[in-house]
Amino acid sequence: MPDESRSYELPMTSPDAPFWPAAERLLSLPPEWRIRRHDQLAWLDPAPSFEWYRNFYNNEYLNDPLHAELFRNPIIRRRKEEYFRNRIARIVDCLGREPVGILDVGAGDGVFLSVARQSGHTVIGVELCAEAAKTAASETGASVLAGDILHDDLSFPAPIDVVVMHHVFEHLLRPLDYLRAIRNLLQPGGIFAFEIPQQFINPIDLVYRALGRQRPFSAYSLHHPYF
């Protein structure tokens, strides 16, 4: 168990870490935004505030036509459902029993919630975008709370055996504080399952870098404070 009296610092908080110009060019960042890198980790410097992110996920993110198409595309949805069925089976295998409750942090369009419910599990979702939370709850029948587990007063009606985050952890400004909050939510012996993208050094981004291609600057250039 970590010593709670200590102050834990992430290596990416170092102000002396070198900048990463190749990543900055990929995102077409203006001069006031930089990316620093330490080994396999990188981060925005400076990072937007939490309120900036709350506004982003309740406005630009929700209304973006690309994300809307991805949410509606039936082929993508079927693939996500198959992927999540396999993920749930692995979680149950690791836990060694059927989980009492599963919490999906960053529930988005609710596909994971839907698949988990179809598998007979009790699920709860948390989603920062209020409209997305409402839609996910309506379409899945699951309880989906609108808000953030650190910044909002949220209560969870069932014991939590499993917390999942699918491409959410890289969006969090205070990752260690979220880890502590998740640990406090979990029952003894519970599981935290999370997945993050390998940004800038994945095959697609490497091709972009080799060709000198850039993505137009937008709010999406800033939606990951960590890489």
**134-179 pLDDT, tens digit each:** 999 999 999 999 999 999 999 887 789 999 999 999 999 999 999 9
Q: Report the candidate in 122, 127, 128, 98 with the shortest Cα–Cα distance to residue 110.
A: 127
| Average of per-residue pLDDT values in the chain | 88
**Range 37-41 average pLDDT:** 88
CB crowding 150-189: b at 16 or more within 10 Å, else e: eeeeeeeeeebbbbbbbebbbbbbeeeebbebbeebbeee
Long-range contacts of 206-211 (CB under 8 A, 24+ apart): 208/26, 209/22, 209/25, 209/26
Whole-number percent of the chain with pLDDT over 70:
90
pLDDT in tens, 73-101: 788 889 999 999 999 999 999 999 999 89
Whole-number percent of the chain with pLDDT over 90:
67
pLDDT at residue 227, rounded to an integer? 92
pLDDT at residue 7, rounded to an integer? 43
CA distance 169 to 189: 21
Handedness of CA 129, 131, 135, 138 (dihedral sign): positive
**Range 205-218 average pLDDT:** 85
Q: Is the pLDDT at 15 greater than 80, yes or no?
A: no
Q: Is the pLDDT at 210 greater than 50, yes or no?
A: yes
Q: Taking the model in full, what pTM does it have?
A: 0.88
3-state secondary structure of 128: coil
Q: DSSP assignment, residue 156?
A: -
Q: DSSP assignment, residue 6?
A: S
